[in-house]
Amino acid sequence: MDPETTRTVGLVVGALSLLVMLWFISQRAMKNRMKMMEDNAPKIAGEDTLEGGARNPQFFDEPDDDALDEMAKLLGEDDDSEMEA
């Protein structure tokens, strides 16, 4: 095969490879940009989902004695405040 033909074929294959890579990179960049814009868009009330929550929500149904004592202290309804009055 002629060296000039081999060189031309190599240049054409390299140029096509470059164009395909540039196209792929630009498509990937646009896709990533759109995903980032969707993820960081302002949240509209009711459309966003809140993650997390109590592991044992039944635990909060009935307060225990310690919690009742703490609430009484906070509200000023404990035994000490009644004696002071």
C-alpha 13/C-alpha 61 separation (Å) is 71
Give the pLDDT mean for 56-84: 78
The confidence score (pLDDT) of residue 36 equals 94
pTM of the model: 0.48
Nearest alpha-carbon partner for 32 in 44, 21, 20, 40: 40
pLDDT of 45 strictly over 90 = no
Domain boundaries, the chain: 3-44+58-84
pLDDT of residue 46: 75
pLDDT tens figures, 26-37: 999 999 999 999
